[in-house]
Chains A and B, each alone.
Chain A
Amino acid sequence: MDTLQGRGIVAGVAIGKIMFPVKAWDAYLAQYQQGTVAEETQKYHAAHRQAVQGIADAVVKAKATGSTETATILEAHQSIITDPVLEESILGRINSRASAPLAVRAACEEIAVMFLGLKDPYLRERAADIRDIGSKMASLLLAVPALEFPDEATILCAAEIAPSVVANLPEDKVVGLILGQGSETTHAIIMAKARGLVTIVGLVEGQLDKLTEGTAVILDGIKGEIIVEPTPAEVAHYQALVHERQVLAAENAKTASWPAKTTNGKRIIVAANIGNPLEIEAAVRHGCEGVGLLRTEFIFMGRDSLPSEQEQYEAYAYVVKRCQEHLCVIRTLDIGGDKPLPYLDIPKEENPYLGLRAIRISLQRPDLFLTQVRAILRASAHGNVALMLPMIINQSEILAAKGLINRAKSELLDEGVAVSTYVPVGIMVETPAAAVMAPTLAEECDFFSIGTNDLTQYTLAVDRGNQAVSYLYDHFNPAVLRFIEMTIKAAHARGIWVGLCGEMAGDLQATKLLASMGLDELSMSATAIPMVKEAIRNSDGDEGLARRILRMATAEEVRAILAK
């Protein structure tokens, strides 16, 4: 019937019926027995007390389990829920004959809207916290039980969804998620990814309205499509796909932990890209051999002061320990004017991708860099750690960074702090400058990791978020492939290993080409690991394919050869 186009976050297929988790509100509200002003006031106070206690308990629990980040968020919730102006607004509404639950929601909504109008992105995000508190108290007042799911396959659909809801979804009933315009960095989406739940985001405003409770849909996470009220033929087609994937997943699960070798005997390490320490468990389940890219931005974002060395150390050590004997490659802060941090004072830039970001910030702010490096070096005592520098264009940047790394290391040793004796230092090859200069850069590196997302953007001068030109973005463009080839050759000539950690690493169409080009490691999101390993086992690893493809003139020709 109708097809809605969004973006697939987890490449799977799901068939089920739409359920709106928030719709239930209206039903509960309709049943609510409103009392006198005095009764409503009393009910509000009781619910408020219970909610305050609930948050206080959660803070204690978070602190006891070492989740300092969660504890900080909860403490902010504590000061919001006890805010006198919020309370005044709620009681005022009850006095004007609003029911307690409506008064709570309306008062919170009014303040949330006020925050949404602020310029500061950090403060704008607080609107979500205020709404969360409003719903918490309102559910207590309405005695809304935890979400109940029907026995058939359900696809949860909402403009926004609380991370705690995603965390508690029953896996046997909820098969997919549709999250309105959700951005990929929200906690809910990070958790959905970690669970491998088929998720579609990025719908255009108004498209969600086309879906109603109970509508049958198919989610195609590969194409990013939502097929509304599918025909029996479509259902049959996708059911076969679901079945096929289940069989494949079961087979892959058996072999996921096995190493991957091409048929001509070349062993390729398959590691995980991780954006949040919590993702490591799922990555290990999917058979990762260590972490090829631990992004550290998570610990710097959504807060208003720099994370301490201790806080960073705990987060990094958590991942390092779970990598066991495998390598954990930790990338230093890769941030810029596109995601400004309130406490970093980076001015708004015309062109943040070409501005003050990543290693450039680290070298201008050695205090910040040294704190992070000290935390990484301390984490190295718990396993195998490598340190990776982002956005390098000059050898001098590597030398400057290594100077600071050595300083941090000798300071720690002087302080008698445990540090691994060998922490390799490498770089992301993600600028054309780094690819061209790879032979020179390799002199100062223990490894390379090719970041194809940025390398493609910078090489082709295409912002893939810009819909007018995103069709030009393609990691199979021969210009990008030649840069990859140059980087691999330079690394091997110097005797260092070279990996690839962009989305290309998880692209099954690319696997046999990457194997043929001689990469030593591929690092990708957890859910892609079992299938890529299988694809490596089915590749012959013969250089002939790479040689042939590197002669091609267009991405279309490359794809045509790979499709054979």
Chain B
Amino acid sequence: MIEARVVLTNKLGLHARAAALLTTTAAKFVSTVHIQGNNRTANAKSILMVMALGLTAQSELRIAVDGPDEDECLQAITDLIAHKFYEE
């Protein structure tokens, strides 16, 4: 299992659109992905659980990935967050 800590720097945090992008990215991999923030953990392949974390901009979160393609998966997700979910 590998993990990373990141800060959400996009404008809206894990709002509907960002949450949707995050879950579709996570769903492309067989590894299990968990996001931790606001003292709770969510399955990153579930848009409902990700949104329900209620993570706003500047929140800190921990991403934990476990599985055969964990390296590529973690890379894809941290890239997405680093690019602010491609919001303008």
Contacts and interface: CB of A to CB of B under 8 A. Distances in A.
Partners in one complex: yes
Interface string A116-135: 00111011001000100000
Chain A CB within 10 Å, residue with most, of B11, B15, B23, B48:
B48
B52 A111 contact: yes
Interface in A177-219: none
A538 interface: no
B85 to A, nearest CB: 11
A79 B48 CA distance: 9
Contact of B46 (A86, A115, A345): A86
A85 B43 contact: yes
A120 B56 contact: yes
Contacts of A123: 15, 51-52, 54
Contact of A80 (B12, B17, B48): B48
A305 B17 contact: yes
Nearest to A119: B54
A115 B51 contact: yes
Interface residues of B, number: 18
B15 A84 contact: no
Chain B CB within 10 Å, residue with most, of A84, A114, A130:
A84
Interface string B34-65: 00000000010111110110101000000000
A115 B23 contact: no
B54 A126 contact: no
B54 A120 contact: yes
B52 A345 contact: no
A471 interface: no
Chain A CB within 10 Å, residue with most, of B12, B23, B43, B51:
B51
A83 interface: yes
Contact of A115 (B11, B43, B45, B52): B52
Given A76-B16, A79-B20, A84 B46 contact: yes
A122 B43 contact: no
A83 B11 CA distance: 25
Contacts of A244: none
Nearest to B17: A304
A259 interface: no
Interface string A368-396: 00000000000000000000000000000
A86 B46 CA distance: 8
Contacts of B48: 80, 83, 85-86, 111, 130
Contacts of A83: 46-49
A304 B16 contact: yes
Interface string A333-353: 000000000110100000000
Contact of A84 (B17, B43, B51, B52): B43
A114 B53 CA distance: 9
Nearest to A87: B46
Contact of B15 (A79, A130, A304): A304
Interface string A84-125: 111000000000000000000000000100110011101100
Contacts of A345: 11
Contacts of A304: 12, 15-17
A304 B18 CA distance: 10
Given A118-B54, A305-B17, A79 B49 contact: no
B88 to A, nearest CB: 9
Contacts of A111: 48, 52
A120 B12 CA distance: 11
A83 B49 CA distance: 9
Nearest to B24: A79
B1 to A, nearest CB: 19
B54 A343 contact: no
A207 B87 CA distance: 46
Interface in A63-88: 76, 79-80, 83-86
B11 A84 contact: no
A439 B3 CA distance: 67
B16 A84 contact: no
Interface in B53-88: 54, 56, 87
Interface of A: 76, 79-80, 83-86, 111, 114-115, 118-120, 122-123, 126, 130, 304-305, 342-343, 345
Closest 7 CB pairs of A and B: A85-B46, A118-B54, A304-B15, A83-B48, A304-B16, A79-B47, A114-B52
Given A84-B46, A123-B52, A130-B48, 15 more contacts: A80-B48, A85-B45, A111-B48, A111-B52, A114-B52, A118-B52, A118-B54, A119-B54, A120-B54, A122-B15, A304-B16, A305-B17, A342-B15, A343-B12, A345-B11
9 contacts: A76-B16, A83-B46, A85-B48, A120-B15, A120-B56, A122-B15, A304-B12, A305-B87, A343-B11
